Amino acid sequence: MKKRRVAAIVAMDEGRIIGKNGALPWHLPEDLAHFKALTSGHVVVMGRKTWESLPPKFRPLPGRVNVVVSRTPRDLQLPSGVYGAGSIDDALIIADRVTDVDRIVWIIGGAEIYKNALPLCDELHLTLVSGNYDGDASLPPFEDHFQEVSSSAAERCAFKVFRKR
C-alpha cells in the first residue's frame, strides 16, 4: 500500500520574508541544490504565482510531478503532465492518483499555500537565510506546531528540519 508523507520546504530570512515580487530576494546556490536534492523524484505542490515565478527552462520542475493550486484551475495554461488543482486537498488527491510508489508530497509555496498546507504537513524543511531582506511575502508562524529535530550550517544559511509536535 502506498504511503504519503506531506512536507513543506521553504527558505526564509531572519524576519520571516520568503519572497519579493514573486521571486526569492536572494540567490543561494547551496539552497537551490538542497531543494533539488530533497524534492527530486517526488511531488511538488505550488500556488499559481510560484508556478509563474519559475524560470521557463525550469517549468515544470524536472524529475518531479508538478501540481499547481489555483482558485480557478481550469483557467491555468499548463503543459502536458502538469496538474491543476482547486485546493490543497485536491492537490493531495491528485498526488495520490498519479503516483504508484511511496513519495513525499512537497509543499513549495507561496505564502498562501503554506498558510493552508502547514496544518497538513508532517515535516517542515526550513532554510534560514542569514540577514534581513526586503520582501512582500512571509512565512506564517509554525513554531507552536513543529519542533526542530536537526540543523546544519552552510555559508550564508542554515538547514533546519522540524517535525509536527
CA-CA distance, 128 to 124, in Å (whole number)?
Answer: 12
The beta strands (E) that lie in the chain are given as 4-13, 17-19, 43-47, 65-69, 83-85, 103-107, 123-129, 137-138, 146-153, 157-164
Each residue of 9-48: pLDDT tens digit? 999 999 999 999 999 999 999 999 999 999 999 999 999 9
Domains and CATH numbers, the chain: 4-164 (3.40.430.10)
Measured between alpha carbons, how far is 109 from 117 in angstroms, rounded to an integer? 9
Could you tell me if 46 and 68 are in contact, meaning their C-beta atoms sit under 8 angstroms apart?
Answer: yes
Entry pTM: 0.95
